[in-house]
Amino acid sequence: MSPPETANAPKPMRLLDQVRDKLRKLHYSPRTEEAYVGWIKRYIWFHGKRHPREMGEAEVEAFLSSLATQRGVSASTQNQALCGLLFLYKQVLGVQLGWLDGVTRAKRPERVPVVMTRQEVALVLQQMQGRDWLMASLMYGTGLRLMECVQLRIQDIDFGYRQITVHQGKGGKDRFLPLPSALIPGLQEQIRASERLLAGDLAAGFGEVSMPESLVRKYPRAPFEIKWWYVFASFDRSRDPITGRIKRHHIDPTGLQKAMRTAVQRAGIMKRATPHTLRHCFATHLLEAGYDIRTVQELMGHRDVTTTQIYTHVLQRGGSAVQSPVDALLGGGVGVRAAA
Banded model confidence at residue 244, pLDDT cuts 50, 70, 90 = confident
Banded model confidence at residue 25, pLDDT cuts 50, 70, 90 = confident
What CA–CA distance (Å, rounded) separates 115 from 318? 13
Q: What is the pLDDT of residue 3?
A: 46
Q: How far is CA 32 from the centre of its chain?
A: 10
Q: What is the pLDDT of residue 253?
A: 93
Is the pLDDT reported for residue 339 higher than 60? no
Is the pLDDT reported for residue 102 higher than 60? no
What CA–CA distance (Å, rounded) separates 283 from 144? 11
Banded model confidence at residue 5, pLDDT cuts 50, 70, 90 = very low
Helix axes 275-288, 254-266, angle to 10 degrees: 70
What CA–CA distance (Å, rounded) separates 166 from 148? 7
pTM of the complete model: 0.76
Q: Which residues are catalytic?
A: 145, 170, 276, 279, 302, 311
Domains of the chain by range and CATH?
15-102 (1.10.150.130), 110-317 (1.10.443.10)
What CA–CA distance (Å, rounded) separates 216 from 186? 30
Say which DSSP state 26 is in.
T
The string of pLDDT tens digits covering residues 146-173 is 999 999 999 999 999 999 999 876 666 7
Q: What is the pLDDT of residue 98?
A: 64
The string of pLDDT tens digits covering residues 287-305 is 999 999 999 999 999 988 8
Q: What is the mean pLDDT of residues 112-125?
A: 94
